[in-house]
Amino acid sequence: MKKATITAGSLILMTALTLTACGAKTTAQTTTNDDTTVAIETLEKDVRGLFENKLYELPSKHVTEAKVAAASKQYKKVYKLRGDLTKSQKKTLKLSKNRIAAIKHVIAIQASIKTALGDKQVITDAKYDNTTLSTQYAAVAKALPKYSKTIKADVDLIDAEVKAVKTVTAATTGDPDQQKIDAAATAIKAVNVKAFADYWLPKLPKEAADGTVTKTDGTVAEVKNPTPAQQAQAAAKKNTSTRTTASSGSQTATRTTGRTTTSSTTNSRPASSSSHGTTNRPSTGGSTGSGTATKPQPAKKPHAPEAGWNVSNGVYSTMQAAMAAMNKALFSPSNADYANTHHVHAYTVPYQDGTDMYSWEWTADEK
C-alpha cells in the first residue's frame, strides 16, 4: 500500500514539473514575438515620418538628417531580428531600406543645389562641376520620380549656368577672340537670370573705343576675329594716327582695306563745278588769310556751303565725325559690292560765313 502511494505521488510531481516547464517556454516565446512586432511597428512609423503621405512619393517638408538617422538606427535593430520575422515583416524591412535610401538621395541633392546656386540662383565658382549632382539626380529620378520633377528646373538651371561659365573661361583665356567673347555673352544671356548676367557679363573682355579689347587684367590687346564695327574703329584710329600736316595746310590720312583704299583730306578738292582749293580765304571780318590753314570752328548757325561742294552724304562739325560716317558706310554689308568698285574719302567743306564743315563721298575707280 505504501509503495502504491509513493508511485502516485511521483506521478503527480512529474506532471507538475512538466506543466511548469511548458508554461515557461510559452512565456519566453510570447515575449520574443512581442519585441519583434514592436520593433517592426516602430520602424514603419519612423520611415513613414520621412514622407509626405503613405504613398511614399514625396519627402516630408519637415524631414531632417536627425530623423533619417533615427530611422536608419531602427532599421539596424530590426535587421538583427530578421531570422524571427514573418514573410510580411521581411517585406516591410526591405521596403524600409529602400525608402530610407531614397530620402538620403533627396537630402544630398538638396544640399548640392543649395551649394551651387546659393540664395541668388547664381553659380559664382568658375571651377564648379555638376557631375556629382547629375549622378544624384539620376538616383532620385529612379527612386522618387514624382519628386524629381519638382527639382528638374533647378537641375536644368545649374546645367545651363555651368555651360555658360565654361564659355566665359574660354573667352578670358589667352588672347581675346571676338567669336569666343560673343559666344560667352550669348550663353550668359540665354540663362535668363538677371543676377547671373549681372555677375558674369562684366567679367568678359571689353571692346575699347578704338576697336581693341581690354582684357580682364586691364591690359589692351588686338582682338582676333574682329567684327565689322571693330574693323572700322581700328581703321579710324589708324587714320587719326597717320594724318600729317602738309606745307599747303592740308592733312591727309590713308589706309588700305581688303576691299579698297579710303582717304580723308582736309581742304580737299571741290566738286568739278567749284574753283575752291584752299581754306585760306578771307575771314568774316574782311582781313586776308595769313597763308596758314585756319583752325576749323563749327558754326552755331552755318550758312549754305560755297558753290560746288558735294554734301549729299551730310555734313559734320569735325573731320573725325565725317570719317566715322564714311567708315560705317564702307563696312556696311549692304555696300559690300559697291565698295569693291569705288573709293571713298572725307573732305572739308567751306561755308559762306568762313567756317568749315566736313563731309564724305564715293568716287568710282578709274578704268
Element (H, E) at 214: strand 213-214
> What b/e readout covers 187-222, taking b as 16+ CB neighbours within 10 angstroms?
bbeebebeebbebbeebbbebbeebbbebeeeeeee
Half-sphere exposure of 304 (CA within 13 A, CB side): 5
Q: Which residue has the higher pLDDT, 4 or 88?
A: 88
Tell me how crowded residue 157 is: count the other CB atoms within 10 A of its CB. 20
Looking at residue 294, what is its pLDDT? 59
Looking at residue 31, what is its pLDDT? 47
pLDDT tens digits, 197-245: 999 999 998 866 555 666 655 554 555 566 665 555 555 555 555 444 3
Looking at residue 249, what is its pLDDT? 39
The x, y and z cell numbers of residue 140, run together, are: 532620385
Half-sphere exposure of 337 (CA within 13 A, CB side): 1
CA-CA distance, 93 to 91, in Å (whole number)?
Answer: 5
Chain-centre distance of CA 152, in angstroms? Answer: 18
**CA angle (142 as vertex; 136, 147 as ends), nearest 5:** 80
Q: Mean per-residue pLDDT for 194-199?
A: 95
pTM of the shown model: 0.52
CA-CA distance, 25 to 225, in Å (whole number)?
Answer: 91
pLDDT tens digits, 341-358: 777 888 898 888 778 888
Give the model's confidence band at 328: pLDDT under 50 very low, under 70 low, under 90 confident, else very high.
confident
93-100 contacts: CB < 8 A, separation 24 or more? 93/40, 93/43, 96/43, 96/44, 96/47, 96/71, 98/143, 99/47, 99/50, 99/51, 99/56, 100/47, 100/50, 100/68, 100/71, 100/72, 100/75
CA-CA distance, 142 to 98, in Å (whole number)?
Answer: 11
Looking at residue 32, what is its pLDDT? 63
Q: Mean per-residue pLDDT for 99-121?
A: 95
The residue behind cell 524600409 is: 96
Give the model's confidence band at 59: pLDDT under 50 very low, under 70 low, under 90 confident, else very high.
very high
Q: Is the pLDDT of residue 111 over 90?
A: yes
Contact between residue 359 and residue 322 where contact means Cβ atoms under 8 Å apart? yes
Looking at residue 185, what is its pLDDT? 94
What mean pLDDT value characterizes the chain?
A: 76
> What is the chain's percent helix, strand, coil content, to nearest 5?
55, 10, 35
Q: Mean per-residue pLDDT for 307-321?
A: 84
Contact between residue 96 and residue 43 where contact means Cβ atoms under 8 Å apart? yes
Half-sphere exposure of 322 (CA within 13 A, CB side): 28
Looking at residue 331, what is its pLDDT? 79
**208 φ, ψ to 5°?**
-85, 170
Q: Which residue has the higher pLDDT, 207 or 184?
A: 184
CB proximity list for 75: less than 8 A, separation 6 or greater: 43, 93, 96, 97, 100
| Short-list 242, 261, 253, CA closest to 362 | 261
- Say whether 224 sits in a helix, a strand or coil: strand
